Amino acid sequence: MKCFRFLLPLLILVFIPACSPPETGSGTSPSESQTIENKGSDTIVNLALAWAERYQEIHPEVRISVTGGGSGTGIASLINGTVDVANASREMKPEEIESAEANGIKPVEFVIARDAIAIIVHLDNPVDKLTLGQISDIYSGKINNWKEIGGEDRPIVRLSRETNSGTHVYFLEEVVRLGEKGNQTLFSRDTLLLPSSEGISAEIRQNPNAIGYDGLGYVTEEMKVVAVAEDPEGRYVMPSAQSVNSGNYPIARNLYMYTNGEPAGVIEEYLNWIQSPPAQEIVTELGFVPIKP
C-alpha cells in the first residue's frame, strides 16, 4: 500500500511535464537567468560551445545550451519550435522555409563564420592532389581504385557524413554534382554513411583505402589533407583561412545561425557579439575562417 501511495504521484510528476508543449519563448521573460537553446550542425558545435563558454564568462546571467546532431536536426528543431537558435552548415532549403512558415516560424539567417571542407586520406596514401572532377568521379562511383588517380593498387572506400549533415548536402551539390543545376548524380551506393565526424576520422586514421571529407576545423595531424584544383589546368590549393578568403580554395562555404523572427533581447545581444572581433578570433583559433569585417 505504502509503496503505491508513493509511486502514483511520482508517475504523475514524471509524465505531466513531458506532456506540456515545448516552450518557444525567445528568452525575453524577465526571469533571473535567461536560457538560449542552441542546436544543429556538428561542424559548428565546437565553435558554438567555445562561443557559449566565453559569452557566459562575460554575461553570467545568460545560460546557453549547445547541442549537435546535424544541420538538418537543428533546422527541424527550429521548425518544431524547440530551439531558439539553429546552427547550420548549409542554407535552409525552400521546403524547410515553407514548413517553418506553416508552423508559424519565420527563420532569419545570420552568416557567422566560413569553413573550408578538406578532403582527407590516410597518412600513408601517396595521392596528394585531386581535381574537383576526380573527387566527383570517386564519390559517384566512376573511379574505384586508387591507381586510377596515381595511387597504389587499392580499392577506394568512400566515407561520408549521414544525410542529415549540412556538410553532406553541401558536398553533394558543390562537389559530387560540381555545382551544376540539373545534375542528378548521386553518391555511390556503397558510400559509408557515418554518424559522426569522429567516425570518419577514426576510419581515416587507420584505413589506407579510405577517402573522406570534413570541415577544416576537424582535421588533425593524424590524417593527410589533399590539395584541390577546380580543373586539371588549375592550381592545386591547400585549404586554409587565406585560401578560403581569397577565393582560391574551391570547396568553401558559409556557416549559418537561424533564429525565429528578428532576434530580440539576449539572443540579439548574443548574435551581435558572435559577429564582433573578439568572437571571430575564436573562429580562427578553432581552424575556421572568420567572416570579413
Partner 1 sequence: MDRDLNLGEMIITRLINIAGYSAIIFVGMIFYFLLREGLPTLNEVNFGNLVSNRWYPIEAYFGILPLLGGSLVITIGATLIAVPFGIGTAVYLAEIAPRWVREILKPLVEVLAGLPSVVLGFLGMLVLAPFLRKYLQLPTGLTAFTGSLLLGGMAIPTVVSVAEDAIDAVPKSYRDASLAIGATKWQTIWRVTLPAAKSGVTTAIMLGVGRAIGETMTVMMVSGNAPVLPGGIRALFKPARTMTATIAAEMGEVATGSVHYHVLFFIGMVLFLISLLINITASFVVFRQRQRQERILS
Note the residues at the interface with partner 1 (CB under 8 A): 1, 4, 69-70, 72-73, 76, 79-80, 96, 99, 154-155, 157, 162-164, 169, 186-187, 189-195, 199, 202-203, 206-207, 209-210
Cα 182–Cα 232–Cα 157 angle in degrees, nearest 5: 70
CB of 69 to partner 1, least distance (A): 5
**C-alpha–C-alpha distance, residues 31 and 148, integer Å:** 63
Q: What does the alpha-carbon distance between residue 276 and residue 281 come to, in Å, rounded to a whole number?
A: 9
Here the cell at position 4 is: 503505491
Compare residues 145 and 284 and give the one whose CB is closer to partner 1.
145
The residues, any chain, with a CB within 8 Å of residue 129's CB and separated by 6 or more, are 226, 227, 228, 229, 236
Residue 95 CB, nearest approach to partner 1 (Å): 8
- 231, 241 contact by CB (below 8 A): no
Between 141 and 265, name the residue whose CB sits nearer to partner 1. 141
The CB-of-13 to partner 1 minimum distance in angstroms stands at 18
Residue among 56 and 207 whose Cβ is closer to partner 1: 207
Task: Annotate 83-121 with DSSP letters as a single string.
Answer: -SEEEESSPPPHHHHHHHHHTT--EEEEEEEEEEEEEEE
Between 73 and 131, CB nearer to partner 1: 73
Residue found by looking up cell 581535381 in the block: 131
What's the closest the beta carbon of residue 158 comes to partner 1, in angstroms? 9
Is the CB of 76 or the CB of 237 nearer to partner 1? 76
Q: How far is CA 105 from CA 10, 30, 149, in A?
A: 35, 23, 48
Q: Minimum distance from CB of 209 to partner 1 (Å)?
A: 5
